[in-house]
A and B are shown apart, each in its own frame.
Chain A
Amino acid sequence: MTFTSPQKIVLEVLYLKTNKNWSDIISTVEFNHTGELLATGDKGGRVVIFQREPESKNEPYNQGEYNVYSTFQSHEPEFDYLKSLEIEEKINKIKWLPQQNAAHSLLSTNDKTIKLWKVTERDKRPEGYNLKDEEGKLKDLSTVTSLQVPVLKPMDLMVEVTPRRIFANGHTYHVNSISVNSDCETYMSADDLRINLWHLAITDRSFNIVDIKPANMEDLTEVITASEFHPHHCNLFVYSSSKGSLRLCDMRASALCDKHSKLFEEPEDPSNRSFFSEIISSVSDVKFSHSGRYMLTRDYLTVKVWDLNMETKPIETYQVHDYLRSKLCSLYENDCIFDKFECAWNGSDSVIMTGAYNNFFRMFDRNTKRDVTLEASRESSKPRAILKPRRVCVGGKRRKDDISVDSLDFTKKILHTAWHPTENIIAIAATNNLYIFQDKVNSEMH
């Protein structure tokens, strides 16, 4: 692994939130479209929304911090009586809707049910009712001698979150992704074998647009692992599979998009072939670039950038932790090889980021081809501390502060990461800790 310095992005710690409860393992992180809000979902079915404080005029270089804005219980554990099975309340994904009025809306989903939540602020309340007094008790009418018009008076800010829609009974298998369409009217939800298209206002039905369930389940060899709508073309979406392929589908072509418009697949490398080839090629996340021209995929050992115009192979491949290639057997035994890491673009699509083990996360600059490994740990995360680049050594010459491959902690995995839509601010979920880092040197996109 190459280590390069100096880094274009120098990250400092902005915020650290720790949850002591085991059920507070963060399971998803998502910025809204302006980056003002950051939502996290956890294993206990809770959603916590952070809001960025406006920049202080006194210190223009002191970027706004993120503070807790609202916390609510999105999903509760449910019991499916037919199958005698408990449906986990863990939030698998959160997606924000583009803001259309003063309220913010987001979709959150567990394995089975998607919910639309509306987040509103209340900072004024009416005072001076004619029939009620200040505590709400009815007045004695004989004491009312004149009429007054109630006026709105300021009050302490109250954030209210209400469930507006519940999209239930759409999925037999476990929902792994949701994606809001650019038309702002529809969204899709994908489980292991099917993808459904919903209208945001209609909860009692959805359209099935992809179905890869074979007629005989014994022929099942592939499942859907992630899916996303194109950021600009409301008719296009992509879904990835456990075999490492990507399928771009056009909803104008037919109602059921079982036939892909484009199939993106890289042939297996014969020199690296092993029993685990398929498992490590399984795509765990797919993200369109902001431009809509590229796709980013994450498989077990690499992140790849694909050009929508070229189906035969990715245009760029970055090794996340190639030193694990010789450890696949034990990673298979302890199930780590099945971990699903996410990936993210920065706002200008020039840098990509993904998580790894030992609370490491990696960033790759597509232009300079530099990469960096950083660690999200409590020890190195005092407020305003600068993150130090880390290095994993695979034997041979070992520098000071290098971590050896054998001492990596595989229980500390960074599966969920998010990048602010326009600025160099990132949110990293490390088990039950949330880290927010920002670029100290240059907060604008480069």
Chain B
Amino acid sequence: MLAKGVKRPRGEMEGGDPEPRDPSAAPASSLFNISMVKLHQSLRHVEPNLRHLVLVANTLRRMQDQMQREAGGPMAPDSPEAPSVGDDLLLSAMDSSISTILEDLGQVEVLSPARPEEEQPLAGASGARQEPARTSAPCLGPLELLSSASYLLEDSLEDIFEDIDTSMYDCDLWSPTSLSGFKAFSGAEDSDSKALAGAEDRLDMSDLDYLMDVLVGGHPPGAHRGRSIS
């Protein structure tokens, strides 16, 4: 996941405590992380708690508006709050994520008997829209689409970075596991719980800092081109 390249002293990060004294000072990126985790956890249920889902989605949209407003303002590229390539990707990915998630929910209802007077031949319509079912129950609409999409993306991830000369960066940054969070914001919702759930799987901020430095500072064209694919 590409969060904003906020440099923080190591001591501060070690606390690992997303709870700030003042809610308005909470780093938007960590709140964003938390919210995306909640969204995905919500969607893991066949019938998500709609109120929870809607409130989290609306909160994410608020953060998106905020980040867009910040991105629109004139700022020095080196400042910690500077918008970066990552932000734009984040925003556009988030936008499509939320819309797709909610749209998929509409499919869930289409597949279930809504009201007694609403009996419709739905199987055909829903079947056409869905990816080949990975589970026996056809009504796991949103979950299915999520897992199908990420399955496809996983295969193509290697292809995307094939032509990039990464010999200068002999590190693990480009391996699929490090970028497992990136998958989530590449236009597809990732239901892979390993990517987002659990503190132990949180992306290493120092790795991301390095990555952002590479992108925002001097960087070879190859890496930049690879980065902009999403």
Contact = CB atoms under 8 A, between A and B. Distances in A.
B140 interface: yes
Most chain B CB neighbours (cut-off 10 Å) among A174, A193, A279, A329: A329
B18 A174 contact: no
Interface stretch (B49-57, B176-184, B207-215): B49-57
Interface residues of B, number: 48
Given A82-B139, A85-B47, A172 B115 contact: yes
Given A278-B58, A279-B59, A174 B50 contact: yes
A221 B58 contact: yes
A216 B106 contact: yes
Contacts of B135: 84
A360 B17 CA distance: 27
A277 to B, nearest CB: 8
B19 to A, nearest CB: 4
Contact of A275 (B21, B31, B108, B112): B31
A118 B26 CA distance: 54
A333 interface: yes
B112 A172 contact: yes
B54 A242 contact: yes
A338 B18 CA distance: 18
Contacts of A193: 50
Contacts of A84: 46, 135-137, 139-140
A278 B52 CA distance: 12
B163 to A, nearest CB: 35
Contact of A218 (B31, B46, B99, B137): B99
Looking at A173, A213, A216, A335, which has the most chain B CB atoms within 10 Å of its CB? A173
A277 B99 CA distance: 21
Contacts of B136: 84
B15 to A, nearest CB: 13
A332 interface: yes
Interface string A168-202: 01101110000000000000000011000000000
A170 B112 CA distance: 12
A385 to B, nearest CB: 37
B105 A326 contact: no
Interface string A197-224: 0000000110010000100111111110
B23 A326 contact: yes
A155 B100 CA distance: 64
Contacts of A208: 115
Interface string B163-202: 0000000000000000000000000000000000000000
Contacts, number: 120
B12 interface: no
A219 B102 contact: yes
A242 B140 contact: no
Interface range, A side: 35 or more
Nearest to A196: B115
B34 interface: yes
A196 to B, nearest CB: 8
Contacts of A328: 23
B11 interface: no
Contact of B51 (A169, A274, A282): A282
Given A83-B47, A84-B137, A174-B49, A332 B34 contact: yes
A276 interface: yes
Given A169-B113, A173-B50, A333-B19, A282 B103 contact: no
Interface in A255-313: 274-279, 282
B228 interface: no
- The residue in B34, B66, B137 that gathers the most chain A C-beta atoms within 10 A of its C-beta is B137
A62 to B, nearest CB: 44
B79 interface: no
Nearest to B24: A274
Interface string B1-45: 000000000000000001111111010000100100010000000
B71 interface: no
Interface string A320-350: 0000001111101101001000000000000
A225 B51 contact: yes
B103 A218 contact: yes
A85 B108 CA distance: 12
A172 B114 contact: yes
B109 interface: yes
B104 to A, nearest CB: 8
Contacts of B98: 218
18 contacts: A83-B46, A84-B46, A84-B135, A85-B47, A172-B113, A172-B114, A174-B50, A193-B50, A205-B117, A216-B106, A217-B102, A218-B103, A242-B54, A275-B62, A278-B58, A329-B23, A335-B38, A338-B55
Interface of B: 18-24, 26, 31, 34, 38, 46-47, 49-52, 54-55, 57-59, 62-63, 66, 98-100, 102-109, 111-117, 135-137, 139-140
Given A173-B47, A218-B99, 20 more contacts: A80-B112, A82-B111, A82-B113, A84-B137, A84-B140, A172-B114, A192-B51, A217-B102, A217-B103, A217-B104, A217-B107, A220-B102, A220-B105, A222-B54, A242-B55, A275-B63, A327-B19, A332-B59, A333-B18, A338-B52
